[in-house]
Chains A and B, each alone.
Chain A
Amino acid sequence: MNTETMSIFSPQLAARFDALVAKYPVKRSALVPMLLYAQDEIGYLSDAVIAEVAERIGITQLDVRNVATYYSMLRFKPAGKYNIQVCTNISCMLRGAYELFERFQEELHVGHKGVTPDGTFSLEEVECIGACCWAPAIQVNYAFHDELTPNDVPKILAEYKAKTNGSVKNA
């Protein structure tokens, strides 16, 4: 396949993948990061993403799916533009992570793995994100926010909502 012309990815990402498969002693080593970067751009691992990644690495789609289903960050359905991941593991739980998670649920009217109707936010309860000494902590996509209280929730949501610049339906 001529990935230059047929790629579903942006030219930048396609170029990055070309570099990625050349970087390792074995092409297949690019698989896990490639899936994550693809998801970052497309939003989730659609059939088309799986097909192109399989093609680029030179393995079957089934093989790609078999690997992809192992990793908790990889998803097969779209999330919100801003995916809010609230850690409720021990260090965060001790410092009010469940109260924080509840407040997000109240403000967004969605539960675990829910997506708001306008597609701006999704919410997820996650395991330890490596910010235990600054608990409770969350990640919005890849950005960390730490030492939070439930009262910080409206401000965080407003901040991200402002970033969408009305580009998201109903935002």
Chain B
Amino acid sequence: MPRLVSHPDEVKIVTKRFGMGAANIDKYIELGGYEAAKKCLAEGPEWIINEMKASNLRGRGGAGFPTGLKWSFVPKQSAKPKYVLVNGDESEPGTCKDHLIFLHDPHAVIEGAMIAGLAIGAKTGFIYLRGEYRYLLEIVEKAVADCYAKGILGKNIFGSDTEFQIITQSGAGAYEVGEESALMESLEGKRGVPRIKPPFPAVVGLYGGPTVINNAETIATVPHVIAMGGAAYAAVGSERNGGTRLFGLSGHVERPGVYELPMGYNLKKMIYEVGGGVRGGRALKAVVPGGSSTPVLLPEEIDIGMDFDQVGKAGSMLGSGGVVVLDDTTCIVEFALRTINFYQHESCGWCIPCREGTDWLKKSLTRFHAGFGTEKDIDNIAYLAQNMLGRTFCPLGDAAAMPTAAFVKKFRKEFEEHLNGKPCPFAKHMELAVV
């Protein structure tokens, strides 16, 4: 069972029911659950979207798109059914927050999906979990069944004439399926290859119908936004970045865990105070601030507020909120290699710059780590990464190229130490060279 952590600086909104048995429907209701959905049913779509816009809630899946705005793009009239799709594919290395939401508060996901459905006029919501999360899928499916038994889901939710159904779905192992259009393909029983945009999912999505797709944390936040009021939720965070976020601290930190902190919380403080500092009191070498696809930050670059805009200004991204901490024993070449191995493995292979680029980057970093790199290779790695950026159908190509380019740029010296027959100075995990 994943360990829950706590810190006085936390503002527990989304996590407030964690550890309280709220996966049980009666407990959830006792703790105020489904009141937000009832309120939305009474107030209607326009009111919901206005509250969502006022909340400044931005998508927790990685890109930080304003949720209220996204919902407002869905056409009011549609010949085809509209859908809500909850993205629980959670596969970006460094990210495990949705795991805790499904485990401790599955009804918040159901209630959030229902509110999204009321806002856009959808009668069906899908909750898609990565295949590895089977035990969580079972928890969610139990929660859904309990809702049907109580009339919370079905043809007449809360005794009204409004219908809302939830369909759960299991994936079967694929990072790329987390990309919104690839997820729709997967749900339609196909390979997880993304679709060309436009049209965007809000207009043509699942089964060709207008679809709102949101990350599981985004959706689980929705009932709290409604309960608090959009403006009050916005006030918790920073400018244009409403509320809190579930930050996952991992790697070489004394107290790893998922902490709910206000948007804009200082990264340095997050590592040294909330996370208890670098493990064993060692020196900090680098921080990957938002999951493996976000460019690495140096120790002198971490005195920043953790919101989408401030991390962007610092040259990286808030991404999935997974903060990976690296101490001075870490070999950056090895870390870069492990990262690119992942993207190479997960590339769906549709576009050449991504398919070939990740493969070449993997090959050259493997050679490098083994000590057979040359000076020219360092520039070649940077050149390859540069040529992948912005040249692919989906952002996975960028997700592979961006961190690699940043490792080479910020740790060039360390790459040089691996040159000309000198194997890894950290002498670590040479078996990576043959994976």
Interface residues in B246-295 (C-beta closer than 8 Å to A): 248-252, 256-258, 288, 292
In the complex with contacts A29-B169, A66-B191, A146-B2, A90-B94 CB distance below 8 A: yes
Segment at the interface with A among B126-134, B156-164, B375-383: B126-134
Residues of A within 8 A of B2 (CB): 131, 133-134, 144, 146
Residues of B near A143 (CB, < 8 A) are: 135
**Interface residues of B, count at CB 8 A:** 61
Which stretch from B12-20, B181-189, B195-203, B308-316 is at the chain A interface?
B181-189
- Interface size in chain A (residues, C-beta < 8 A): 46
Distance A135 CA – B324 CA, assembled complex (angstroms): 12
Report how far A143 CA is from B252 CA in the complex, Å: 25
Residues B335-379 near A (CB distance < 8 A) = 335, 338-339, 342, 345-346, 348
A71 contact set on B, CB distance < 8 A: 131, 171-174, 192
Quick check: which of B33-41, B85-93, B230-238 contacts chain A, the rest being far away? B85-93
Say whether B61 faces chain A, with CB atoms less than 8 Å apart: no
A127 touching B93, Cβ below 8 Å? yes
Are B256 and A134 interface neighbours, CB within 8 A? yes
The answer to whether A135 touches B191 (Cβ under 8 A) is no
CA distance A72 to B98 in the complex (A): 21
* A-contact bits for B322-335, CB 8 A (1 contact / 0 none): 10111000100001
Report the nearest A residue to B134, measured CB to CB: A142
Q: From the candidates A57, A88, A95, A139, name the one contacting B132 in the complex (CB within 8 A).
A: A139
Q: How far is the CA of A86 from the CA of B167 in the complex (A)?
A: 31
A90 in contact with B93 given A36-B131, A135-B250 (CB within 8 Å): yes
Using Cβ atoms and an 8 Å threshold, which residues of chain B touch A161? Answer: none
Q: Which of A18-26, A115-123, A150-158 lies on the face that meets chain B?
A: A18-26
Residue pair B189, A57 in contact (C-beta under 8 Å):
yes
User: Most chain-B CB neighbours within 10 Å: which of A25, A71, A91, A127?
Assistant: A91
CB pair B131 A91 closer than 8 Å: no
Which of B3, B92, B169, B256 contacts A128, CB < 8 Å?
Answer: B92
A31 within 8 A of B: yes
Whether the Cβ atoms of A24 and B167 lie closer than 8 Å is yes
| Interface pair A132/B94, CB less than 8 Å apart | yes
Q: Find A88's partner among B94, B191, B338 (CB 8 Å cutoff).
A: B338
Instruction: Determine if B99 is an interface residue (Cβ-Cβ < 8 Å).
Output: yes
Point out the residues of chain B lying under 8 angstroms from A91, CB to CB. 93-94, 250-251, 322, 324
B residues near A32, Cβ cutoff 8 Å? 169-172, 186, 189
Tell me how far the C-beta of A114 lies from the nearest C-beta in chain B, rounded to whole angstroms. 14
One digit per residue, 1 when the CB lies within 8 angstroms of any chain A CB and 0 when it does not, for chain B 387-416 equals: 000000000000000000000000000000
A89 is contacted by which of B134, B135, B292 (Cβ under 8 Å)?
A: B292
> Complex formed: what's the CA distance from A137 to B338 in Å?
16
Interfacial chain A residues near B91, Cβ < 8 Å: 127-128, 130
B173 touches which of A30, A74, A146 (Cβ 8 Å) = A74
Which positions 35-79 of chain A face chain B at CB distance < 8 Å? Answer: 35-36, 57, 66-67, 70-74
Residues of B in contact with A (beta carbons under 8 Å apart): 2-3, 81, 90-96, 98-99, 124, 130-135, 167, 169-175, 186-192, 207, 248-252, 256-258, 288, 292, 322, 324-326, 330, 335, 338-339, 342, 345-346, 348, 429, 431-432, 435
Can you give 10 contacting A-B residue pairs, CB < 8 Å? A23-B167, A29-B189, A33-B170, A70-B192, A71-B171, A89-B292, A91-B250, A95-B252, A135-B250, A142-B132
